[in-house]
Amino acid sequence: MPKDPDPRIVTANDFFYRGLHLPSNTSNPYRAGLKVAGIPDLNGQGLTLARLDFRPNGFFPPHYHPRAAEILTVLEGSLEVGFVTSYPNYKHYPKVLNKGDVFVIPVGLVHYQRGVGRVNTVVLSALNSQNPGIVEVAAGIFGAKPVIDSNYLANAFRLNKGIVERLQSKRWS
């Protein structure tokens, strides 16, 4: 839809999405899934809305959104969430959330989510950007193309070069 649509052709459906009641696909190694609400006129409003689903022990790996803060609301189940502040403190703020709990992750900070408990967890996520971006930390470092020099990464992460090269050989996307 154009940024400034002709009001004579806009309908209620341009502001509508049906489908967040349906679970996202969790049949992957993370046992977690994401479904972004495709609302045509949300584009240009500076917002993203998504449903996150976690099977027991499902998780999203450490990642960050370079252009958005995120607010999570647990609809069902229990979720551990946490973020880490920037240098020099690197303070970790973990929290277990239950149904009805809300947690805010500041813009640009590394964070994670994982389902805790014995039942599936459903979370509503809102981000204050229509293009929040996502950088999965491990994939961004070890899955970069072309690869980042393995000697450098071994020194930077205090790892054996062989471990770095094994990580770089994994399929990250």
For 25-36, write each residue's pLDDT tens digit: 999 999 999 999
Q: What percent of the chain is modeled with pLDDT above 70?
A: 97
Q: What is the pLDDT of residue 116?
A: 97
Region(s) of the chain under CATH 2.60.120.10? 15-133
Distance separating alpha carbons of residues 172 and 143, to the nearest angstrom: 6
Q: Could you tell me which residues come within 8 angstroms of residue 78 by beta carbon, excluding any fewer than 6 positions away?
A: 96, 97, 98, 99, 115, 116, 117, 121
CATH 1.20.1260.10 fits 15-133, yes or no: no
Q: Is 92 annotated as a binding residue?
A: no
For the entire predicted model, the pTM comes to 0.89
Distance separating alpha carbons of residues 99 and 169, to the nearest angstrom: 39
Q: Is 21 annotated as a binding residue?
A: no
pLDDT bin (cut points 50, 70, 90) of residue 7 is confident
Does residue 4 carry a pLDDT above 80?
no
What are the pLDDT digits (tens) for 27-68?
999 999 999 998 877 777 889 999 999 999 999 999 999 999
Asked if omega into 146 is within 30° of 0 (cis), the reply is: yes
- Over its C-alpha atoms, the chain yields an Rg (Å, rounded) of 19
